Structure 1
Amino acid sequence: MIITDGIKIPDSKMAREVTQIVRLMESDLLFNHSTRAYFWGALAGQRKGLKYDPELLYTAAMFHDIGLTQSFRESQLRFEVDGANAARDFLQSHGIAERDIDKVWTAIALHTTLGIPEHMDPEIALLQDGVGMDVVGLGYEKYTDNQRDTVVVAYPRGRDFEHRIIDAFYQGQKHRPASTYGTVNEDVIAYKDKNFHHRNFCSMISASLCMHRDHQDS
């Protein structure tokens, strides 16, 4: 079904399997967020005239938050890496080319790392475009009223979206706060846990220099 401006969810066996897997693992909140991220990314690709593979972009978008779900509550990896690994396993089971698997893996792994994805393959750049639009409204003004309304009607944000999405991010990472260092997710942990202390890069350098001096003195 076309949602808006010719953009639709890929109609393939693999895409349908992606939908089924994510639908079973994610809440309505994360499932709808992931689907909207696909549409925002695809619409951005259309607007920018980028050549991308809709099936790869859809897979990346749908798997990008899988690492936040109950299945990964024991993991100490970055949740992005859990999602990237899950997508890789899925694509390998479908005989997808390694180069394409690498695109999806990288898109998911880097979707919370700012300043890098936009310089990489379209699928990688567009996933971050889509996620950024949906969570914090990056590029909001570049989408038409019809595009915004149509996507959100088809896949609603629901009431109190901002608090529920922050809590979903927190619940998926509170058991591994150290994994958020260097990404936007560190802000989520700090916002929800008032006892959390950011690691300070400058302090880490100072501590390293002290260790080197101790070694030289011994």
Structure 2
Amino acid sequence: MTTVYDGLPFPRTDLARAATQFARENVHAAIFNHSMRTYLYGRFLGEHRGLRPDEDYDDELLFLGCVLHDVGLGPKGNGDQRFDIDGADLAAEFLTKQGVDPERIEVVWDAVALHLYFEVASRKQPEIALVTEGAGYDLGPTGPALPPGYADRVHAVLPRLHTGAVLYDLVVEQALAKPQKAPLFSFPGELVRQKTGDAWPTWRQLMDKEPSWHDYDGYRPRTG
């Protein structure tokens, strides 16, 4: 069941309401608003391709993936993994407690865990792909243009509150406290590198670091 909330369509099932409250209580207001806008933009991008809510995809599942996709950036989701994986685990834990079927939980887990990997997520089912696409659109609206005035309506209800800057700060803050949350060459790792100015090792340096299999000993690069 979908209704209009301050002029904007959101699923209003009991589960959607519970997930909204859970996200609101567990992430920064800017991240919560970003998560809600992610659904609106994901749904818009789906409709632009002719995908109809609750006909071509499960609208409640899309909403759950969107509203929960950044819960790993809140204190409750700040574990020892990258924030996307911690968030997926926390989302699954929440949905399990709500009595959601494992098959549906798996879709949401995938949507949250894959939302930083556009090339992978975009080839998945709409309930996964549109989370990534909607989140990306909210941070940089490339692609089809929104209807005139729609962004203003969305921002009036869900103000940006410096979303991009807050997202950066939260990812870096977590990773500086727990370096394992920002592996080399990952999205969190790149944000930390930008913050600290530290240089990443080259591939050769990684391969030569002890303990090593010494794959470069005696190696002659191919030519021609």
Q: Does 1:24 pair with 2:29?
A: no
TM-aligned CA deviation for residue 155 of structure 1 = 0.5
Q: Does 1:58 pair with 2:59?
A: no
Q: Does 1:133 pair with 2:137?
A: yes
CA–CA distance in 2 between the matches of 1:17 and 1:109?
21
The structure whose Rg is larger is: 2
TM-aligned CA deviation for residue 94 of structure 1 = 2.8
Equivalenced residues, count: 210
- CA pair 200-103 structure 1, distance change in 2 beyond 3 A: farther
CA–CA distance in 1 between the matches of 2:72 and 2:124?
23
Q: Which amino acid aligns with 1:127?
A: V
- Uncovered stretches (5+) of structure 2, i.e. residues with no partner: 217-224
CA–CA distance in 2 between the matches of 1:3 and 1:13?
15
Q: Which amino acid aligns with 1:42?
A: R
Paired residues of 1:31 and 1:62 also in contact (CA < 8 A): yes
Q: Of the candidates 98, 102, 108, which is equivalent to residue 102 of structure 2?
A: 98
Q: Which amino acid aligns with 2:100?
A: I
CA–CA distance in 1 between the matches of 2:8 and 2:125?
20
Write the mapping of 1:35-54 to structure 2, written as runs, cut at 5 A. 35-50=36-51, 51-54=56-59
| TM-score, normalised relative to structure 1 | 0.83
TM-aligned CA deviation for residue 147 of structure 1 = 2.5
Q: Which has the higher contact order (CA 8 A, sep 6+)?
A: 1
CA–CA distance in 2 between the matches of 1:25 and 1:37?
17
- CA pair 167-125 structure 1, distance change in 2 beyond 3 A: same
| TM-score, normalised relative to structure 2 | 0.81
TM-aligned CA deviation for residue 133 of structure 1 = 0.8
Paired residues of 1:45 and 1:52 also in contact (CA < 8 A): no
Paired residues of 2:81 and 2:180 also in contact (CA < 8 A): no
Write the mapping of 1:58-207 to structure 2, written as runs, cut at 5 A. 58-73=63-78, 75-139=79-143, 141-158=144-161, 160-181=162-183, 182-194=185-197, 196-198=198-200, 200-207=202-209
Paired residues of 2:207 and 2:215 also in contact (CA < 8 A): no
- Uncovered stretches (5+) of structure 1, i.e. residues with no partner: none
Paired residues of 2:118 and 2:133 also in contact (CA < 8 A): no
- CA pair 2-95 structure 1, distance change in 2 beyond 3 A: same
CA deviation map 1:34-74 (0-9, x unaligned): 1111111111112112322121111111111111112244x
CA–CA distance in 1 between the matches of 2:42 and 2:106?
18
- CA pair 65-43 structure 1, distance change in 2 beyond 3 A: same
- CA pair 17-200 structure 1, distance change in 2 beyond 3 A: farther
Paired residues of 2:208 and 2:214 also in contact (CA < 8 A): no
- CA pair 9-186 structure 1, distance change in 2 beyond 3 A: same
- CA pair 7-42 structure 1, distance change in 2 beyond 3 A: farther
CA–CA distance in 2 between the matches of 1:154 and 1:28?
12
CA deviation map 1:162-218 (0-9, x unaligned): 333321222233223343334322221112222x3435445434558952569xxxx
CA–CA distance in 2 between the matches of 1:95 and 1:117?
26
